[in-house]
């Protein structure tokens, strides 16, 4: 078994989801067979506390905040992950975007 693909989990405000899907698709993520723009989007409730020196998109320094956002899940070839992450950071409004990279097991052909 080898890790040829990863799953990206990206947490982002709902109003930014379409821009995110457009850039990750253009960068080569979200492709499955003869389909592109393949993704799952789930509403979530996020919590965070900006610390001294932070420049939060939302919330106040030292106070715990909560807010509605979306979790976008998309498959991505491992070979292009660095470029896809760079593109995500270009459109993501958060100072510190939460991006999980989960290796996917694929059986060799």
Tens-place pLDDT, residues 47-88: 999 999 999 999 999 999 999 999 999 999 999 999 999 999
Whether residue 108 is predicted with pLDDT greater than 60 in this model: the reply is no
Exposure on the CB side of residue 53, measured as CA atoms within 13 A: 1
- In what helix (H) or strand (E) does residue 25 lie, and over which residues does it extend? helix 17-26
Q: Is the pLDDT of residue 2 over 60?
A: yes
Work out the number of other CB atoms within 10 angstroms of the CB of residue 78: 15
Is 45 domain-assigned?
no
Q: Which domain holds residue 84?
A: 5-39+72-104
Q: Considering the domain boundaries, does residue 56 fall inside one?
A: no
Identify whether 44 is part of a domain: no
Answer for the pair 16, 93: CB distance below 8 angstroms, yes or no: yes
Instruction: Classify residue 52: in a domain, yes or no.
Output: no
Question: Number of folded domains in the chain?
Answer: 1
C-alpha 91/C-alpha 22 separation (Å) is 10
Specify if 64 maps to a domain. Answer: no
- Domain assignment of residue 66, yes or no: no
The answer to the question of residue 99 being in a domain is yes
Residue 94 lies in a domain: yes
- Mapped onto helix, strand or coil, the DSSP state of residue 34 is coil
The CATH number of the domain holding residue 91 is 3.30.70.120
């Amino acid at each position: 078994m080898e890790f040829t693909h990863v799953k990206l989990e990206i947490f982002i405000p709902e109003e930014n989801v379409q821009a995110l899907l457009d850039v990750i698709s253009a960068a080569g993520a979200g492709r499955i067979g003869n389909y592109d723009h393949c993704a799952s989007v789930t509403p979530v409730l996020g919590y965070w506390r900006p610390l001294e020196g932070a420049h939060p998109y939302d919330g106040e320094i030292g106070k715990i905040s909560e807010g509605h956002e979306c979790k976008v899940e998309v498959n991505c070839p491992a070979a292009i992950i660095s470029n896809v992450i760079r593109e995500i950071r270009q459109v993501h409004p958060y100072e510190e975007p939460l991006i999980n990279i989960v290796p996917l097991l694929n059986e060799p052909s």
